[in-house]
Amino acid sequence: MIWIAILKGQVQADLAATTGVHSATDAVRMIMAGADVAMLCSALLRDGVERLGEIRGELDAWLDSRGQESVEDIRGLMSRSQLKGDDEFVRTGYAKVLNRHW
């Protein structure tokens, strides 16, 4: 996740979170870091394709509870380019900054 947050806005490329995404919470964190996609292959292989519908429902509920209409509203909010300065990003550590918004 840290590399997605660092690279968002720095490179002209789509960014994919390809590991560690097993829930809607994981997907939200990756999207807020700046991921264009969050791949759920392991979760679907482990839990079955029906898990996708559950995750989608959880994601919609999370967005609704925060007054957001789509993932575009949160994409990259916690990326390095969106923070006020490198000092905050480096000093507090990305996980700590992200947890403030939960």
User: What DSSP string runs through 33-102?
Assistant: HT-SEE--HHHHHHH-THHHHHHHHHHHHHHHHTT--SGGGTTTTTSGGGSS-HHHHHHH-HHHHHHTT-
> Does residue 92 register a pLDDT over 60?
no
**Do residues 4 and 34 make contact, with C-beta atoms less than 8 angstroms apart?**
yes
Confidence of residue 102 (pLDDT cuts 50, 70, 90): low
Kindly report the pTM of this predicted structure: 0.80
Confidence of residue 90 (pLDDT cuts 50, 70, 90): low
Rounded CA-CA distance 101/7 in Å is: 20
Using one digit for the tens of pLDDT, what is the confidence trace for 16-26?
A: 999 889 999 99
Using one digit for the tens of pLDDT, what is the confidence trace for 50-72?
A: 999 999 999 999 999 999 999 99
